[in-house]
Amino acid sequence: MKNALNLEQLQHRIDVSPFNLWFGLRAVEINDEGVVLTLMRRKELIGNPKTGVIHGGLMGCLVDGVCAFSVIARTGQSAATVDFRVDFHRATVAPQLWARGRFLKTGRTLATVEGLVYEEDGTLVASGRAVLLHTKLQTEG
């Protein structure tokens, strides 16, 4: 499948969002399956100061983000999340996380995308799915 955006354009789309800019997502790959983003662990992202792990809700932001940006990279347009779900597999204090999006379905109006979060060595730490409404139906409400 052809993607509408290149890596630089995708990074621009990430950075126009005040939250994503603060969050620190980096676009590192756009491929046929979806996009790959990275996130550096830093103090502000920590949920539990005793364990030093990134806040679980932010792991959700990472899963949701990699799903949404997979759709955005492909269509070049915006996308609205209908729902997302996250499963937590392992606590991690890795300095950097990789999030990989993978299309499960691309319909005319809806896309279902899987988001997988790994440590550098490939250990899966969290994963989930999002259903997104793309382009034409964004005014749904």
Our finding on whether 110 is near a second copy (CB under 8 A) is yes
Residue 104: φ, ψ to 5°? -100, -30
Our finding on whether 10 is near a second copy (CB under 8 A) is no
Exposure string over 60-93, b if 16+ CB within 10 A, otherwise e: bbbbbbbbbbbbbbbbeeebeeeebebeeeeebe
Among 48, 76, 77, 96, binds a second copy (CB under 8 A): 48
Q: How far apart are CA 140 and CA 25, in angstroms?
A: 27
What does the per-residue mask of binding to a second copy show for 89-108, with x meaning CB under 8 A? xxx------------xx-xx
Among 28, 29, 80, 119, binds a second copy (CB under 8 A): 80
Rounded to a whole number of angstroms, the minimum distance from the CB of residue 124 to a second copy is 7
Our finding on whether 133 is near a second copy (CB under 8 A) is yes
Our finding on whether 7 is near a second copy (CB under 8 A) is no
Asked if 125 and 100 count as a contact pair (C-beta separation under 8 A), the reply is: no
Asked if 27 and 7 count as a contact pair (C-beta separation under 8 A), the reply is: yes
Name 111's bridge partners: 106, 132
Contact positions toward a second copy, by CB under 8 A?
Answer: 16-20, 22, 43-49, 54-58, 60-62, 64-65, 68, 78, 80-91, 104-105, 107-110, 112, 124, 127-129, 131, 133, 137, 139-141
